[in-house]
Amino acid sequence: MTLAQAIRKAAQTLSEQGIDHARLDAELLLAHRLHRDRVWIITHIHDALGEKDLKAFEDLVERRAKREPLQHIRGTQEFWGLDFMVTPDVLIPRPETELVVESAIKIAQQLRTGVTFLDLCTGSGCIAICLAHDCPSARVLATDASSKALVVARENAGRNSVADRITFLHGDLFEPLESLDIHGQIDIIVTNPPYIPSGDLSMLQPEVRDFEPEMALIAGPVGTEIASTIIGQAPAFLKQGGALIMEMGMGQADALAAMVRADARYASLEILKDLAGIERVIKARKA
């Protein structure tokens, strides 16, 4: 069997299971098995595939057909041009979260002194690591309530050569910072917190519902519970003029904006849309 035949068969299997971009997934799975990139696969599409590699490839396809995320099978996900290890213990980095990174870097570039970032709910560490990578003089703190997630985050910091510039702290939101006495010393707080209402869990794609950590997805019955806590507690840790940059769920912009406007400690508010035109990030500055 050639690579082309194996890919065609795999794509049909995946398509029958309702998987979008079935052929692309098949090509990426074969590239993963052969330790090659997708370009190599395409340029060698008529090469013969050995029996051992074929069997291993079919096993990978079977896993994907059961809706296991492609990123879990391959073990990695690209984000902001960097490579991140992903496991079932962390949320898979999504492209829309890059808007948080982009916004934070723009603000950091306007500051003349060394910047201190705080990343809440760091998960895989993708936001904190990208900020440390692109802002070499910055100090970065990152917290997460999951000790297993922090193991992944520390591994990712090491593989992206920023482990010496990020302090990972175990605990819920701001709680690990209480002993550090850094109130009023953070320039920029960034976060992609859980924001899905608990009632929506059953409606999520199987890849998300069955394979990603529920604690990284579900915020509570409404979906804005954790975001509300962050909005309420962030000013105590921000410098004057410091920024809170937070990802949010679809349809949550009005409710979160109202919370910010009702809090006199904030001086400005901006809602940012992602590439799909969805209101995705709320940016607020401390008075």
User: Does 71 map to a domain?
Assistant: no
124 lies in the same domain as 201? yes
124 lies in the same domain as 44? no
User: Does 181 map to a domain?
Assistant: yes
User: Does 107 map to a domain?
Assistant: yes
Task: Tell me the CATH number at 250.
Answer: 3.40.50.150
Domain count of the chain? Answer: 2
37 lies in the same domain as 100? no
Return the structure tokens found at 228: 């509300």
H-assigned helices in the chain: 3-16, 22-34, 38-43, 51-65, 70-74, 98-110, 126-134, 147-159, 206-209, 225-233, 253-261
pLDDT tens for the chain, residues 1 to 287: 999 999 999 999 999 999 999 999 999 999 999 999 999 999 999 999 999 999 999 999 999 999 999 999 999 999 999 999 999 999 999 999 999 999 999 999 998 778 999 999 999 999 999 999 999 999 999 999 999 999 999 999 999 999 999 999 999 999 999 888 899 999 999 999 999 999 999 999 999 999 999 999 999 999 999 999 999 999 999 999 999 999 999 999 999 999 999 999 999 999 999 999 999 999 999 99
Cα–Cα distance for residue pair 264/65, rounded to 1 Å:
51
211 lies in the same domain as 159? yes
169 lies in the same domain as 249? yes
